[in-house]
Amino acid sequence: MADPTNAAASLENLPLFAEPEHAGAGDEWTDQHALRGPAGQSDLRRSLQARLASATAQRGRGPVPAGQHARRGDDAFARLDPNGTMLRPMTGPGGEVDWGLVRAYREQAADQLAHALRSREGLDDAGRRELGRSIVVELLADHAERALTKGLPIITPDEQIQLAEAIMAALFGLGRLQPLVDDPDIENIEINGHDNVHLIYDDGRIVEGPAVADSDEELIETLSFLATRTGNNERPFSPSNPRLHLRLRDGSRLAATAWITPRPVAVIRKHRLTDIGIKELVDLDMMSPAAAAFLAAAVRSRKSLVVSGAQGAGKTTLVRALTNELDPMERIGTIETEYELHLHDMPERHRRIVAWEARPGSGERGPDGRAVGEITLDDLVFDSLRMNLSRLIVGEVRGREVLPMFKAMQSGAGSLSTTHAHSARAAIERLVTCAMEAGQHVTESFAYRQIAEHIDLIVQIELIDNSHAGGKRRRYISEIIAVEPGEHGLPAITDVFQPGPDGHAVPGTPPIWLSDLERAGFNPRLLDHGGVP
């Protein structure tokens, strides 16, 4: 693999691009050798061929004999889909992508793309990718012309398209991370330095993964590049902003830190179950039919719910499933620090939806002490009040986001949110702690009163991981508690579902507002006799 520090210099004398050996056969060569994928791959190949054929003709040269091709082995490159993201890698028996060289091209292409976009405001993602495709073609063709002029050895036509695809993947995809993100069986990717990578599969297996960069410096550079490429919601990542929380193009969530840890650290959390309903969760043994019917009726009757559990327990998945119980024509809003629910990506289920994502702003501070360009969840809740919403959903609560959650619940019933806790009762204390982190103006009694008055149900999800002992990971609802205002403003708790012999939630004491659920179609007999009507 080429030394990354010398990659940029090597562009000047890069041996590139023979004219196809079947040049002059029209589309016959393209049809024969085009990659077996979406049409976008053939488009890239045709663009390269047309540009390079023109360059060759201008230089007065014919096809280069096969013996003059510079053979570099069967490199491992990747395919592109029409959106410009990398699909399954095509790994050969020898060699790897020269990622230092790819990175040097990507930097040049990114600079040219940023300059071109200044005069093309409002260009959508498809337009950006097409513009990037043309820039990559021009970059490689320019260097090919120099190689032809100097009589340097030429790489094969297949290698031409493979190199172009690798550059496009680095420019619009995730580069070396993309094959890992694309693997449907991988649930989490843990990176502790560029060469210390662990893959956590959906069955609990932990496997060492390949290096995702050639150095820690390159890994930081890759993360910084991803942070600047998030469309209209750019995220800073620098020594003055050493923490990064980012939504990737496929909906995965990336969290990273650098400069405050010995080595750069990143975790990619993939959301495998996006379009899912409560019935599917019953089939996965995450809850009983009785609990499913109860929660579905609670959502329809506009009860406000908080889903709690450990990291990776399935909290966001459950919220998605619960929102699918809503009428598709109900106007709802979602407010998140980073998009994770992705309800706006399911228009057939949610036709009238407004999805907001907070913005951290730059490292500079304005006269009010806020980061320049910052848009907080509080700001979004304020804006949502004029959007004619039926209900407002706030995403994960990790800290002071709890105050916007309270405001959302005050503005309209039927809100949903998630938080981290080891039990439903512990979730109450967790929310109180989060509220008090907002400042001295939030008292403990205020936080308890808000919880008692605005949260109707807390649903606890358990994650049992027996993979280390040869078993599997299990996720299931263990308890559902109802919350009501009690004495002195403290929450009064009713155990509607409580842990059974195997830990799964079984019916307990009905809530005082059970009649509200009956009007929403719930059969109260499901709470009797172990949930059997």
What does the pLDDT read at residue 3?
46
Say whether 136 sits in a helix, a strand or coil.
Answer: helix
Name residues whose C-beta falls within 8 Å of residue 94's C-beta, 6 or more positions apart in sequence: 73, 74
Mean of pLDDT values over 28-47: 42
What does the pLDDT read at residue 68?
37
Mean pLDDT computed over every residue of the chain: 78
* Number of residues assigned to the chain: 533
pTM of the model: 0.69
Name residues whose C-beta falls within 8 Å of residue 2's C-beta, 6 or more positions apart in sequence: 10, 98, 100, 101
Residue 507 burial (C-beta neighbours within 10 Å; 0-12, 13-18, 19+): buried
CATH fold label, 180-269: Beta-Lactamase (3.30.450)
**Which residues on adjacent β-strands are paired with residue 107?**
none
**Which residues on adjacent β-strands are paired with residue 305?**
416, 457
Mean of pLDDT values over 245-264: 89
The answer to whether domain 278-531 has CATH 3.40.50.300 is yes
| Dihedral angle sign, alpha carbons of residues 38, 77, 83, 177 | positive
Tell how strand 457-465 and strand 473-485 pair up.
antiparallel
What does the pLDDT read at residue 66?
35
For tokens 């908080």, what's the residue? 306
Q: Residues of the chain with pLDDT > 70: what percent?
A: 75
Q: Where residue 311 falls among pLDDT bands split at 50, 70, 90?
A: confident
Q: What is the DSSP string of 103-135?
A: HHHHHHHHHHHHHHHTTSTT--HHHHHHHHHHH
Residue 321 has pLDDT above 50, yes or no: yes
Q: What is the DSSP string of 285-323?
A: TSS-HHHHHHHHHHHHTT--EEEEESTTSSHHHHHHHHH
Q: Where residue 54 falls among pLDDT bands split at 50, 70, 90?
A: low
Domain ranges of the chain: 4-173, 180-269, 278-531
**Which residues on adjacent β-strands are paired with residue 254?**
246, 268
Q: What is the pLDDT of residues 376-394, one digit of tens each?
A: 888 888 888 889 898 988 8
Mean of pLDDT values over 287-300: 96
Q: Which two tokens stand for residue 244?
A: 């990064």
Query: Can you tell me the distance from the alpha carbon of 268 to that of 251, in angstroms, rounded to the nearest whole number?
Result: 10
Q: What is the pLDDT of residues 104-145, one digit of tens each?
A: 888 888 888 888 887 777 777 778 888 888 888 888 777 777
State the distance between the two ends of the chain, measured CA to CA, in whole angstroms. 66
